[in-house]
Structure 1
Amino acid sequence: MDGDRGLPEGDARIGQRAAAGVDLAADDPGVQVPRAAGRVVVAVAGDGLRGPAGVYAQIRPEMLNTGTEAGTLRTPGWRGDGIAFNEARGHPYANRLGGHGKGRFAHQNLVTETQTPTNTPEQRVQVEAVIYDQVKNNDEIVQYNVVPKYAGNSPIPHEIHFTAYGSKGFTFTYILENPAAYVRTGV
C-alpha cells in the first residue's frame, strides 16, 4: 500500500506516472489514455467482472464543463431502471470536471451508484463541487484520483475513494459509501 494515499501500490504508481504525463497505454493494455484539450486522463479498466478499477486525471481550468452526461451504457450491476431502483450511472470522474459518460471511454468511467443520496447530493456536493471550485476559483491544476472499492464478486463498488492534490497545495480525501452494492431487492 502507498501509505500516503491509501492506494494499492500499483494504483499509486499509475497515479504518479499519470501526473508526470507518462503515456501508460503503451505498456499496459488495460489502461486507456485519452488526450484532448491538454488533458491527461488515465482510466484503468476493470477485471471483466467488475466496473472500472480507477480514474486518474489532471484537471485544469479549461477542462471544466467539457464532459458528457451518462448515456445508456449498462454499467456492471445496473438493474435497468434508475427510477424504480434508485440507481445512477455515476461518474467517478465527474462530467463537470471533464469526465465522459458517453463514447469510447465511458465504460471506464461509469459505475452503478445509489442515486439519492449517494450520487446526488453527496457526491455532487461533497466531492465534485469542492474540486470544481478549487480549480475554477484558484486557477489550480489538480491531480484527481478515484478508486472504486469492490467487496467479493460484487460488480458494484461498496465505496469510492477520492483523493486530490493541487499545484498550489490543495489536498482532499473523501470516501463515498455506496449502498447500491449491498442487499438488493426489487421495487
Structure 2
Amino acid sequence: MGLTPCDETDPSWGGRVQYGERDHLGRATGVHATLRPDMMGGRTDPQVDPAGWEPKKGYNRAHLLGAQLGGSNKSDENFVTMHAYANSPEMRKIETQVRRAVEAGETIQYSVTPIHDGDSLVPRAVTIEAYGSNGFQFTPRGAQSGTNAITILNVPKR
C-alpha cells in the first residue's frame, strides 16, 4: 500500500469518518470511522494545538484517528493532549494492529473517545474500540489475548 494521506478538503472520507463536535471548553469529543484499505498510510504531521497543549511538558498532540488510519492532521476535532508515552507507543501499538488488519482486507468499525475529569483540558484517558468484519481483535501491550476495547490512561511512562 502506498501512502494515502487524509484529503484535508474532506477529512470525513466521504462520510466514513465522523468527528464529534468540540465541547464548550474546546475539547475534542471523539471519532467514529469505517476503515477501509484506501484510507491507510498517512503520515503524522499535527497542524493544530489541542485543548490543554503546552510545549516542552512531555505531551504529544495525539490524533484520535491516527494519521496512519486516515485521520486528519488539521482538524481540531481529531486531537487531544496526551502524555508522550500514552500516545506512542501505547496508542500507536493499537493503531498499527488495526492498520495491518485493514490492509489485509478487513473493514474495521473504529472509535476513540476521550475521558475528561470535570473541566480538565487534558483527558485522563481515551477509550479505543475496534470491531472487524472478519472478527478482528487487537492485543494490548502485555496482554495474552485479544480484545475489541481498551481504555488507555493518559499518564507518563513509569
TM-score w.r.t. length of structure 1: 0.68
CA positional deviation for 1:179: 2.4
Question: Does residue 1:179 correspond to 2:148, yes or no?
Answer: no
The aligned counterpart of 2:63 is 91
Structure 1 runs not aligned, ≥5 long: 1-32, 181-187
Q: How does 1:38-187 map to 2 (within 5 A)?
A: 40-66=16-42, 69-71=45-47, 73-79=48-54, 81=55, 84-102=56-74, 106-115=75-84, 117-125=85-93, 127-137=94-104, 139-171=105-137, 172-179=148-155
2:134 and 2:59 map into 1 onto residues whose CA distance is 36
The higher radius of gyration belongs to 1
Asked if structure 1 preserves the Cα contact closer than 8 Å seen for 2:46 and 2:73, the reply is: yes
- What's the counterpart of residue 184 of structure 1? none
Partner of 1:29: none
Give the aligned residue type for 1:53: T
> Does the 8 A contact of 2:11 with 2:71 survive in 1?
no
Asked whether the equivalents of residues 67 and 100 of structure 1 are also in contact (C-alpha less than 8 Å), the reply is no
Q: Is the 8 A contact 1:89 1:110 kept in 2?
A: yes
- Any idea what the Cα deviations from partners look like across 1:133-172, whole Å, max 9, x if unmatched? 11112x0010101111111110111110000111112242
Superposition deviation, residue 66 in structure 1:
3.5
Root-mean-square deviation (Å): 1.8
Structure with the bigger percentage of helix: 1
| Per-residue deviation, 1:46 | 2.3
Aligned-residue identity in percent: 32
Q: Which has the higher contact order (CA 8 A, sep 6+)?
A: 2
Unaligned ranges ≥5, structure 2: 1-9, 138-147
